[in-house]
Structure 1
Amino acid sequence: MPDPDTLLTYAAVVLGLFLIPGPAVLLVLARASVGGRRVGIATGLGIAAGDLLHTAMAVVGLSAVLMTSALAFSLVKYAGAAYLIVLGLRALAERGGELSLGPARLVDTRLAFRQAVLAEVLNPKTALFFLAFLPQFVRPGQGSVPAQLVVLGLVFVGMSVVYTALVALAAGQVAGWLARHRRIGRWQGRVVGAIYLGLGIRLALQER
């Protein structure tokens, strides 16, 4: 079980990533704006279900690496930290445009849920993110590594469900705010890039 300090740091980083409107948040907003709150919540639940599957796959894969050797797991952590640094540099280098909600057609809650699950599960960037992100907060000396990965993944999924539900419930206000502050998209890459870059550097150097 991760210690409270690690969980608090992890939750703060996850919350920081959530607060920057990304594709998942914009999808929930678009669905909620067209189909209403229930469709928006169903979309958020679908995204969370997809993330839960990514968590399960990451736990299985990383646990298999750990069984090989502790050195292999350390290499995975450092490779993940390097990947986060690369993501951060790319995000900082990109020229962000104005945020806008993409077109969304009217669908029922079941279809919205299924489409969100498929979109999240079939996104290779999400899979790589989980493989790189979760190990950074694992401490082998604090108990079972697979159990720690499960806890971290469930915290991420739980926070995702709560956050996307709040976004769906306040879709009108959030969409209106984004419409008045479209230029936030120009800062999106810089903020996310800074989070990735800082996290990657900090965690890459933490145990050296």
Structure 2
Amino acid sequence: MFSVEFLITSLIVVLVPGSGVIYTVSTALLQGRRAGVLASLGGTIGIVPHLLATIFGLAAVMHTSALAFEALRYAGVAYLFYLAWATWRDKAAFAVDQAAAQRTGRQIVAKGILLNILNPKLTIFFLAFLPQFVDPAARSPLAQLVALSAVFMLMTFVVFVVYAALAHAFRRAVIESATVQGWLRRSFAAAFAGLGAQLALQDR
């Protein structure tokens, strides 16, 4: 069920610096490793509503029409190419939120949850992403969706914690390096494009 393509794509998706990563990094920079782990937990919990909406929405589509599911899958391929283009063009740097230094553990988790819950792009992303790795002819596509979502959440939490540890260890020297960020973004963009092409040509 957990193909190499799914694991690699999920890792790339989680590694790409977004609002959750930026929040985790800035919190770890100002309040240390524990605060960074709490921010990681909040960011991971915040994707649950988007995953649930995706799971039940896709389950309904698969039950209704195999053609509609395939159309959604190819729309997802197009979205991966869009992500490659957007990631390549993104020049935004990590921002340090000075207010994070005064937040309690509960506040840190709550803000991480809200950041992702209030990001409508996540639902769109999961609707484009998960169909690539589900077999509509399987006995229980819904079980596949749940399992894939669980793995994605676990990977999200682990990667966010790693980001927090690196931010705390290296502080601003590496995290705020424009050169390092530029190199990472170009690598991620190329990976998105390559995986999108592979998924589009893959024989299902």
- TM-score of the superposed pair, with normalisation by structure 2: 0.87
CA RMSD after TM alignment: 2.2
Residue 75 of structure 2 is matched in structure 1 by 79
Shift of 1:176: 4.2
Name the residue aligned to 1:96.
91
Mapped contact 2:83–2:189 kept (Cα < 8 A): yes
Query: Structure 1 counterpart of 2:22, which letter?
Result: L
Letter in 1 for 2:55: V
Cα distance, 1:117 vs structure 2? 0.8
Q: Count the aligned residue pairs.
A: 202
How does the TM-score come out when normalised to structure 1? Answer: 0.86
Amino acid at match of 2:84: G
Bigger drift between 16-25 and 105-114 goes to: 16-25
| Percent identity (aligned) | 35
Q: What is the match of residue 202 of structure 2?
A: 206
Letter in 2 for 1:103: D
Q: Which amino acid aligns with 1:143?
A: R
Structure 1: give runs of 5+ residues left out of the alignment.
none
Query: Is 2:46 the partner of 1:38?
Result: no
Q: 1:147 aligns with which of 143, 149, 165?
A: 143
Cα deviation, residue 86, structure 1: 2.0
**Structure 2 residue corresponding to 1:136, chosen from 120, 127, 132:** 132
83-92 or 63-72: bigger deviation: 83-92
Once residues 36 and 75 of structure 2 are traced to their aligned partners in structure 1, the CA distance between those partners, rounded to angstroms, is 36
Gaps of 5+ in 2: none
User: Which of 157, 177, 182 is equivalent to 2:178?
Assistant: 182
- The reply on whether 1:111 has 2:132 as its aligned counterpart is no
